[in-house]
Amino acid sequence: MAQQRTTLHQCLRYRFDNLVAGGTAVLIGWLAAACPAVVIPAGMVLVWADRKAPTTLSGRLRAVWAGVGQTLKIGGAVGSPVHVPASASLAPGAPAIREFPDDGPAPPPTPGRTPLAH
């Protein structure tokens, strides 16, 4: 019996299914890694293609740094090289630690009515 070759689509789907099965924390981790992996090279291309960009290497790197910070909203033009990664490391946990208002206990159900009544 001949084995079928696994297509690229099947392989990618298998990897994606395993990623999703890993849970929310794994997905957030991959997204946190993927965002800079896309934004930094794109920022470099934009700065190097801009005719108004600084001509020195350090000036261009500063422009990339500012653009990446503004795109990811993690410090922008202000902030040291230590501040931006620190902000980025805290960003995935921000929704988890956000405080929700405590409205107190739920009111008792109305007598004679069920929540799914039509």
Q: Is residue 2 part of a domain?
A: no
102 contact partners, CB below 8 Å, separation of at least 6: none
pLDDT-derived band at 114, boundaries 50, 70, 90: low
Residue closest to 40 by CA, chosen among 80, 74, 72:
72
Q: Is the pLDDT of residue 97 over 60?
A: no
Q: Is residue 47 part of a domain?
A: yes
Task: Check: CB of residue 87 under 8 Å from CB of residue 81.
Answer: no
Residues of the chain with pLDDT > 70, as a percent, come to: 59
Q: If you search the block for the tokens 């202000």, which residue do you land on?
A: 78
Range of the domain at 43: 33-93
Residue closest to 19 by CA, chosen among 31, 7, 8:
31
Q: Is residue 25 part of a domain?
A: no
Q: Is residue 116 part of a domain?
A: no
Q: Is residue 38 part of a domain?
A: yes
Q: Is residue 7 part of a domain?
A: no
Q: Is residue 19 part of a domain?
A: no
Task: Check: CB of residue 54 under 8 Å from CB of residue 62.
Answer: yes
Domain count, the chain: 1
The residue type found at 13 is R
Q: Is residue 13 part of a domain?
A: no
pLDDT-derived band at 8, boundaries 50, 70, 90: very high
Q: Encode pLDDT of 9-42 as tens digits.
A: 999 999 999 988 999 888 888 888 888 888 888 8
